[in-house]
A and B are shown apart, each in its own frame.
Chain A
Amino acid sequence: MPETKPIVGFFVTCLVDAMRPSIGFASLRLLEDAGCIVEVPTAQTCCGQPGFNSGASDMARDIVKQVIVAFEKFDYVVVPSGSCAGMLKVHAKDLFEDDPAWLARHNAFAAKTHEILSFLADVMKYQPQGISYDGVATYHDACSGLRELGVHDQPRALLEHVAGLKMVPLEGSDACCGFGGTFCVKYPDISNEIVEDKTRCIAHTGADTLLAGDLGCLMNMAGKISREGRPVKVFHAVEVLAGMAEDDGICQPAKEA
């Protein structure tokens, strides 16, 4: 754990900004509770991943440069999504293969960029205190966080400190949920087959709550759970860890029309 309070630049991500700000505010609460000073630069928008994964590298490069410029003054850059963090930390270097100056800037930026759950557990050695959640939850390991950043044990370790929360294992927790960014709208029928497998496994656990660390995957699984009418609430792990999972779950309004 750093000796002085580190100054963290928080990268909100476009989905959290538009769809579920509570994930962002839960992150701020956790980062401050863990001993960080948090700032949210206003020059941020997106990590560039939709362009990057579609082959539009020139667009992605401009956007990543914009992120680096906005965030390079911070001690750390923290992102509440393994997918966006993986884009910025791991993949973006491919965009600067022929540009040594920017590659060096990216390297320095990448070294201090972290996905939030692994940052809290590994860097800040954080343990939530006085938080409770009444329920049985299962955890889906979103692919980018898992494979690109090694996020697996950290969320489970953090969630152990939540009173009243019982965790049950999810079969195939390391299998893709079928989201894949633009994949799910480009190939909706294939995506549907994949997410159906996932919700079947989730139902099989008997859990009343599904947690993960990536809003895209969560919206996909929650949307399917809602369509299938399954009694499972869906939250980003930080919402539970910050004690902010009392409100509506993702795609689950408290009062049905």
Chain B
Amino acid sequence: MAAETDKPEKMMDVSVWRGGPDGGAFESFKAPQQESQTILDVVTYIQQNEDPSLAYRFACRVGMCGSCAMMVNGQPRWTCRTHVQKVLKDNKLVIAPLRNLPVIRDLATDMTVFFDKWTAAEASFTPTKTRHDPMAPINPETPERLAASEAIECINCAVCYAACDAVAGNEDYLGPAALNRAWTLVNDVRDGGHESRMDAVSAAGGCHNCHSMGNCAQFCPNELNPTASIAGLKRATVKAALGLRK
């Protein structure tokens, strides 16, 4: 701590949620403001200089791995790409674990249920060919491929899942990320799991739980639009129910 007090740095107030599965409370820290500083930088500063027992999760620090998302001033954000200057309010930051997920400790959530729902939505590729077949030609300009490409860049950060009020109201709801992934596969001409996926995404907890509030699209750090994907799934399930082709 001595090194920080030598310099006339501008300090900010940081409230960090501390606790575990059984509850917890916010703890106050001071952290110096720096140029181009991210929220993850602030959390790391606190862990390295104030309290080494602070638990949080990160890996790549460049917005690719999707492991560092947290609630920042009440909004879900990827902390490694969120600049402090963009979200600092009254010289204060409030940092908490992601909403809608059980907490392991402090800022680290247990994402098991999030990924279990990807499996439940059958959001995995069902091959129709073997490795002995020639590679399937994919035309990137077809409407199906364009729809899939628009939704494909998900990094599994669970920001949309934390933002979603439908998830908050129904713990069985599969959530925006899993359904968004299912939508990319509905549009993948190589995929062979359409019928069972339609059953999975239209069952209880499926796409029809979405109220189109758009929180997912509002906060997706990669600017995907799961609300649009889920609307596409709703249309696809209606077509499937009417016996029409997808």
A and B pair up: no
